[in-house]
Amino acid sequence: MRVIALLALCFAAVAAVPSSDTRIAGGSLVTIDKYPSSASIIHTWDGLHHTFNCAGTIINNRSILTAGHCIYYYPHIFFRIRVGSSYGTTGGELLAVSQQFQYPGYNDDNFRYDIAILRTASFISYNNNVRPSPIAGSSYVIADNQTAWATGWQETQDTSAGQASLRQLSDAQVVTVNGDVCNSLYEAMDMPITPEMLCTSWPQQGNGQCVGVFGAGVYHSNTLVGVTTQCSPILPTVNTRVSSYVEWIQTNA
């Protein structure tokens, strides 16, 4: 029996007016207290050695929302979740995973239905650096050319010099892109942009954000509206539109 009070998800039914944030567009290193719902998904073969895999977002005290392709090829026992740290590969708390939920019909060729949930083996303890994010409800509307914030884990050390990868939390100001326009750009790649997808790009540039982002959250008015699935240096970034999957998230989170 599910404990509704403990596991309740936060939904926003109607979009609020975007906040007037003065941060410049582009990837900037930030600390976890700015996005306490941010999590990193770690891959491990033996429970001892860990490598960064993808990003995710805390949506309640046992569930992480991420991209489906991040977990598609491995069972849950190969994943760990790091929360409460400004770094994706160190610090905070590392949690085992007990279950994974892949959205039915996920297509690894065109990344349709690219959304998944990892459930932690123990409850996530909240503090100033660990909090669930409100997520867009089914009636949440975000118009074209709206300001949003994309997050991710940016590599901050030169691994070519033999240093271990150190990924720090980052954010970037982006704008939403009209779906038809985005579809026209991707149709040559045989990757149709459907209503369940949300495209974003750098303001005034038209190309997408790539800051160590797969599975990471995209926020509009402090509400989780997207999960990043594909990015490109020349095309808009494609995100899974969270509001299209509310019922499935409620059922499995």
Q: How far is CA 248 from the centre of its chain?
A: 17
The number of domains in the chain is 2
Residue 203: the pLDDT is 76
Residue 117 lies in a domain: yes
Same domain (yes/no): 217, 148:
yes
What is the extent of the structural domain holding 150? 135-242
136 and 223 in contact (C-beta within 8 Å)? yes
pLDDT above 70 for 133: yes
Q: Which pTM does this prediction carry?
A: 0.88
First to last CA, the chain: 13
Residue 31 lies in a domain: no
Same domain (yes/no): 97, 124:
yes
Same domain (yes/no): 123, 214:
no
Residue 147: the pLDDT is 96
195 and 201 in contact (C-beta within 8 Å)? no
Same domain (yes/no): 123, 92:
yes
Residue 9 lies in a domain: no
Both structure tokens of 36? 């306490």
Q: How far is CA 230 from the centre of its chain?
A: 11
State phi, psi for 75 to the nearest 5 degrees.
Answer: -75, 170
Residue 162: the pLDDT is 55
Same domain (yes/no): 88, 141:
no
51 and 43 in contact (C-beta within 8 Å)? yes
CATH code at position 210: 2.40.10.10
Over its C-alpha atoms, the chain yields an Rg (Å, rounded) of 17
How many CA atoms within 13 Å lie on the side-chain side of 230?
Answer: 21
Split at pLDDT 50, 70, 90, the class of 71 is very high
Average confidence score pLDDT of the chain: 86
**For 73-117, what is each residue's pLDDT tens digit?**
999 999 999 999 999 999 999 999 999 999 999 988 878 999 999
Residue 6 lies in a domain: no
Residue 153 lies in a domain: yes
Residue 24: the pLDDT is 27
Same domain (yes/no): 125, 161:
no
What is the C-alpha separation between 57 and 225, in angstroms, rounded? 11
Same domain (yes/no): 175, 229:
yes
**For 169-214, what is each residue's pLDDT tens digit?**
999 999 999 999 999 999 888 889 999 999 999 876 656 666 558 9
**Closest residue by Cα to residue 165 from 215, 208, 117, 212:** 212
Query: What percentage of residues in the chain have a pLDDT greater than 90?
Result: 70
Residue 32 lies in a domain: no
Strands 79-83 and 93-102: antiparallel
From residue 54, alpha-carbon distances to 117, 154, 188, 219 in Å are: 13, 11, 27, 17
Same domain (yes/no): 150, 200:
yes
Residue 45 lies in a domain: yes
A 10 A CB-CB count for 127 gives: 11
Same domain (yes/no): 151, 209:
yes
Q: How far is CA 105 from the centre of its chain?
A: 20
**Closest residue by Cα to residue 136 from 229, 14, 239, 228:** 14
pLDDT above 90 for 163: no
**Closest residue by Cα to residue 54 from 78, 35, 30, 33:** 78
Residue 25 lies in a domain: no
Same domain (yes/no): 84, 64:
yes
Strands 38-44 and 237-241: unpaired
Same domain (yes/no): 124, 182:
no
Q: Who's near 97: CB < 8 A, 6+ residues apart? A: 76, 77, 79, 80, 81, 118, 119, 120, 121
208 and 236 in contact (C-beta within 8 Å)? yes
Same domain (yes/no): 109, 161:
no
